Amino acid sequence: MKNYVQHGETLTLTAPYAVSSGGGALVGSVFGVAANDYANGEDGEFQVCGVFDLVRETGASTGWSQGALIYWDNTNKRITKTATSNKLIGTAVRAAADGDATGRVRLNGAFIS
């Protein structure tokens, strides 16, 4: 098929801010995890599917159970269970306690409205 471009698990996107390898980025309506360090405005490879450990919100009542919906807090550049003003990016693969620094999430690979 001559119009096939790529599988789509990794996309070349323009970083909307400086992001380190393994860090999350919301590029318009696409959420991805950076494959390398990228400067603001630099094109780079971002994983949009898969399971990742990402920096998460911590504190009282911030834990979640396995299977919980997980959102990206673009202001604080971290994952959260709070839907308000945040973008749905996937589901929790394992439970997270209030003080856990990271959370394991399976990215949904879908564009976010």
Q: Which domain holds residue 99?
A: 10-108
Predicted local distance difference test score (pLDDT) of residue 113: 56
For residue 53, tell me if it sits in a domain: yes
For residue 113, tell me if it sits in a domain: no
- The pLDDT tens digits of the residues spanning 53-102 come to 999 999 999 999 999 999 999 999 999 999 999 999 999 999 999 999 99
CATH assignment of the domain containing 63: 2.40.300
Q: Rounded to whole angstroms, how far apart are CA atoms 89 and 92?
A: 10
- The pLDDT tens digits of the residues spanning 29-51 come to 999 999 999 999 999 999 999 99
**Residue 41 contacts residue 27 (beta carbons within 8 Å):** no
Given a cut of 90, whether residue 7 has pLDDT beyond it is no
For residue 1, tell me if it sits in a domain: no
Count of CB atoms situated within 10 Å of the CB of 12: 10
For residue 5, tell me if it sits in a domain: no
Q: How far is CA 56 from the centre of its chain?
A: 10
Number of domains in the chain: 1
